[in-house]
Structure 1
Amino acid sequence: MMYDVLIAPFVEFEFMRRALAGVLTLALGGAPVGVFLMLRRMSLVGDAMAHAILPGAAIGFLLSGLNLIAMTVGGLIAGFTVAILAGLVARMTELKEDASLAAFYLFSLALGVTIVSIRGTNIDLLHVLFGNVLALDDQTLLAIAINATVTMIVLALIWRPLVMECVDPLFLRSVSRAGAPAHLAFLALVVINLVNGFHALGTLLAVGLMVLPAGIARFWARDISTMMMVAVAAAIVSGYAGLVLSFFTKVPPGPAIILVTAFVYLASLLFGPVSGLLRQMFPGRHLEA
């Protein structure tokens, strides 16, 4: 019985194995980036950037249809453009960066939906907005794997300034000039992983496997390294469970994965040993001298 539910779908169907490989790769690249988004209080920035890539991907779709390279390049260009413009507006005016990002992402979302609607059908629009992890081909999996590898290498290179900026950004500015380059490199990683997630989960859900596992990890660990491992594990388990749920029900795979991840987040919120609600309601006894 357990074999039929948990293993047989992946043994018998190649599209399930491809989907699982895609989810595992997205977890390895996106979850660590999500932890830094959370620690830097940029989770909503990640959501805004997820919408910002839509017009570029839509223009790629308009020119070449559902072509991987065209949509990936378009998404990367759009994401970087919105990030740069939002930063310039925040520095040249009195508008804060979150407000400028909100304005740009709303414009980007409306523009992207309009472009896809002009060329494609409702099915194409749903594919762009929600993705289709069950339709990943070799080319897409290779692109996702390359992006995840680049993410892990760059994170290793900028690890120290990123951690220092999370803890004490003023100290980092006083002792090193690595803060600004590390921040730009980190924003590039956010865009790259959102484009990764776009192919599997669509623009509306791409940020889910980045932010939710990071939130889960926050309730189970205190140091950053452990948070990374917990976040990756949570993303992998949730992705696997979401694919199983989708296979045996009528729930689409993308929403199923995010729903399972959200359920794990709620369970962690209640039972997590680090600031979980039950932990705060019934704290353990402190050692007495």
Structure 2
Amino acid sequence: MLFLYEYLIAPFVEFAFMQRALAGALMLSVGACPVGVFLMLRRMSLTGDAMAHAILPGAATGFLLYGLQIIPMTLGGLAAGVVVALGAGAVSRLTIQKEDASMAAFYLISLALGVLIVSLRGSNVDLMHVLFGTVLALNNDALSLIGTITVVTLVALAIFWRGLVAECLDPLFLRSVSRLGPPVHFIFLGLVVLNLVGGFQALGTLLSVGLMMVPAAAARFWTSRIEPMCLLAVAIGVASCISGLLLSYHASLPSGPAIILSAGVVYLLSIIAGTRGVLATRVRHASHRTA
């Protein structure tokens, strides 16, 4: 029991920075993982990755003007994410280029521009902070921001749940019977940007999408229903945050990558042992052949 306490509980009891890191990571899991489920079901997983890179120039501009202050970097990242989302959508509607191609172009330009902006003022340490985050250095302002984003996300999901589910299953049908199709789509993209901005504070621009997508991808191997999938994705995200923070503390590893790699382990196990994974699929195929 003493061993379990020292390795699993003591770090979160004895150190305030671990408590803040745990609180921020858990709130991110609650808000971002359900959004990741909808991204995956819409086959927009790479769009989330593109949007994560898209916020970098705005956050870097806030850093260039005000240093490592939360509000300027957050507002800059939010503005950049909205501009890229709207720009990519406009290009796909006004030209022959599809949205995935325009999003890829925008995100590559954004990534290069953001790194250049950070390099104008900051050091390599500052660049690593922006790209990979510092979940162990979250302060009260960052926790307040993440908590607000989580609440807004949960409220929006509750209000627009049926529209989001309908658009995932049959977007053309939703647009034919309701005018909610386009508004729901842009509201959803707004939620994606918001959660990436919140994740940016803890995990950086390159890893924030990992907590959004990897638990969602793992949950897909266990259920086909959306509600249980969202709950399971949150549970996987929470477990990954706890195990990643403990691994970071005891092994002196970077906290952000440790969290995402913990989720990656669950994803690999889900591929093999999930009820919709490799083993279960082989068993079903074998039973069908024998029948």
Shorter-chain TM-score: what band? over 0.9
Which of 70, 76, 79 matches 1:74? 76
Give distance in 1, aligned partners of 2:219 and 2:194. 22
2: CA distance between counterparts of 1:131 and 1:83? 23
Shift of 1:177: 0.6
Q: Which whole-Å CA distance do the structure 2 matches of 1:210 and 1:154 have between them?
A: 17
- Between the aligned partners of 1:125 and 1:169, the Cα distance in structure 2 is 40
In structure 2, the residue matched to 1:15 is: 17
Distance 1:141 1:173 in 2: 38
Q: For 1:220, what is the secondary structure of its paired residue?
A: coil
Unaligned runs of 5+ in 2: none
Residue 233 of structure 2 aligns with which residue?
231
Q: Tell me which residue corresponds to 2:65.
A: 63
List per-residue Cα deviations over 1:217-258 (Å, max 9, x = no partner).
101111100001000000000010000000011320000000
Residue aligning to 2:115: 113
Aligned equivalent of 2:137: 135
Q: How many residues are treated as equivalent by the alignment?
A: 287
**After TM superposition, which residue ranges in structure 1, 4 or more long, deviate above 4 angstroms?**
none
- Higher deviation after alignment, 75-84 or 217-226: 217-226
Name the counterpart of 1:178: 180
Q: Secondary structure at the match of 1:158?
A: helix
Three-state SS of the structure 1 residue aligned to 2:252 is coil
> Deviations 1:8-29 (Å, cap 9, x if unpaired)?
1001111001000001100010
Q: How does 1:28-177 map to 2 (within 5 A)?
A: 28-177=30-179
- Quick check: 1:220 aligned with 2:231? no
Q: Could you tell me which residue of structure 2 aligns to residue 270 of structure 1?
A: 272
Larger CA deviation: 93-102 vs 163-172: 163-172
Distance 1:233 1:17 in 2: 19
Separation in 2, partners of 1:153, 1:285: 44
Offset of residue 285 of structure 1: 4.5
TM-score by length of 1: 0.97
Percent same amino acid at aligned positions? Answer: 61
Give me the CA root mean square deviation: 1.3
Code of the aligned partner of 2:68: L
Structure 1 residue ranges without an equivalent (≥5) = none
Aligned equivalents of 2:201 and 2:242: distance in 1?
17
1:94 match: secondary structure: coil
Match of 2:190 among 181, 188, 191: 188
Between the aligned partners of 2:225 and 2:131, the Cα distance in structure 1 is: 35
Alignment partners' CA distance in 1, 2:193 and 2:97: 23
Aligned mates of 2:99, 2:287 — CA distance in 1: 44
Q: Answer yes or no: is 1:198 the counterpart of 2:176.
A: no
Q: Distance in 1 between matches of 2:177 and 2:249?
A: 53
State the AA in 1 paired with 2:138.
L
Paired residue type of 2:242: Y
Higher helix share: 2
Q: Which residue of structure 2 lines up, in the alignment, with residue 280 of structure 1?
A: 281
Q: CA deviation at 1:203?
A: 0.4
